[in-house]
Amino acid sequence: MTSRPAAATPGPPAGPASPTLPTLPAAERGATVVRDKVVARIAVRAAREALAAREDTSPARTRLAAPRAWVSVGGGTARLGLSLDLPYPIDLADASRRLQQHVSARVSQLTGIKVTEVTLAIEHLVPFGGAGLEGGRVQ
């Protein structure tokens, strides 16, 4: 007597049904932790981007020192501080406002952390380009 093989049926393998796990909302599954040091590096990079956005004040051309940042992160918000040099001559109020807005937006965009404050400490004003301040005297 010959037996015919049973036809294979597509689908899940026979046996006990696997239990379906309930899908939890993202907030209950876990959290992503972004360390203060990482947020500070992103803030420094954003400050460089903001300074380079003005074609006449690129950091390479003006010999600006690298910005430094400090950060306080807690409860999904961050407070940032930046210490940096700015090229001279420059409208300090406008440049400061643009730096604060750009750094705040980029850090929020890249980390998902709401930035509540960006404090600037302008260490030096560095003469650049045709300012004519390389050793002359004011008359």
| CB within 8 Å of 99: residues ≥ 6 apart | 47, 50, 51, 82, 84, 118, 120
1 vs 65: which has the higher pLDDT: 65
pLDDT at 124 > cutoff 70: yes
**DSSP single-letter state for residue 3:** -
Q: Cβ(119)–Cβ(104) under 8 Å? A: no
Strand partners, 11: none
| Confidence at residue 96, expressed as pLDDT on a 0 to 100 scale | 95
| Confidence at residue 131, expressed as pLDDT on a 0 to 100 scale | 47
- Name the token pair of 14: 């026979």
**DSSP single-letter state for residue 11:** S
- Per-residue pLDDT reduced to its tens digit, 38-81: 999 999 999 999 988 865 555 555 578 899 999 999 988 999 99
| CB within 8 Å of 8: residues ≥ 6 apart | none
| Confidence at residue 118, expressed as pLDDT on a 0 to 100 scale | 98
Q: Exposure of 20 by Cβ count < 10 A (0-12 exposed, 13-18 middle, 19+ buried)?
A: exposed
| Confidence at residue 36, expressed as pLDDT on a 0 to 100 scale | 94
Report pTM. Answer: 0.69
